[in-house]
Structure 1
Amino acid sequence: MSNAYLWVKAFHIVFVASWFAGLFYLPRIFVNLAMVPPDSHAERARLLLMGHKLHRFGMILMTIALALGLVLWLHYGIGLKGPGNGWMHAKLTLVTLTLGYQGYCRHLLRQFEQQANQRSHRWFRVFNEITVLLFAATVVLVVVKPF
């Protein structure tokens, strides 16, 4: 493989990990928002601002990660050539689920913004773990290529 391929691959990994770091932390902000007392307007506003900034930054990281992934897939043929590329289909499914998770996080952020959240901080603690499972499964598929 060429030197350019290695640079694209390295930056793809960096941006995917960074995107997931944002997805690890955003639901933690939701935990804190769910615990804010109704009369604590300043704390709520600060957490909402943090959530919006993190979501916006995560969208930038996601876009770059996806663009670099497309370059690896379509330009360099990663997961396209030869038998045994079922792992790529599974990975793309996980990427789609992660995109859905990101979109659902935006929906939850809007609910907090409109003071329409109906979920407990415990629910958000469990919701936060989904990201870990998505990230771990994606890494295993890429490294192990089990099928």
Structure 2
Amino acid sequence: MISSTQVRMALNEVHAISATSESEVYELSINLTDISGQTYDCDYLSRPDDTFGLNPTIRKWLADNPKFPVQAYRPPTVEQIRSFMPSISARQLRLGLVNAGISPTQVMAAIDAMPVGPERDRVQIEWEYATSFNRLHALIAVIGWALGLTEMQIDAVWTAALDL
């Protein structure tokens, strides 16, 4: 039985709207009250065919406020895309390099060719002992540069390694 005092979701305010890469799909910065009565700011992705939760209210608000400014879609930068790439295990990284024709021996030779000092020691420790790596980790850039790989080549190795 639904109580007559039950709190319903409410759209309190729309702060900003941004277009996405999909037609009629918007990312909104809003203030809402949720079903437990909590009020807060959040981001909300609204699709035209979504009939769940607060979306019908948001779609009505969009229709009733056609002059509200919508920020144009800006594709993510290459750096943003890289920051969203999932981490991979040391195993995946090493197998990805091997599949790209780069042996662990070549990586060790690149590390050994670095000037003796703390930076080389850090790189060697990371290579030998890290259990996972993220795409923007400094080791990836250092090893990639030492092996003559471009950022796009590293991206390709990374993407292929995700499935290993």
For normalisation by structure 2, the TM-score amounts to 0.23
Which structure carries more relative contact order (alpha carbon 8 Å, separation 6+)? 1
Greater share of residues in helix? 1
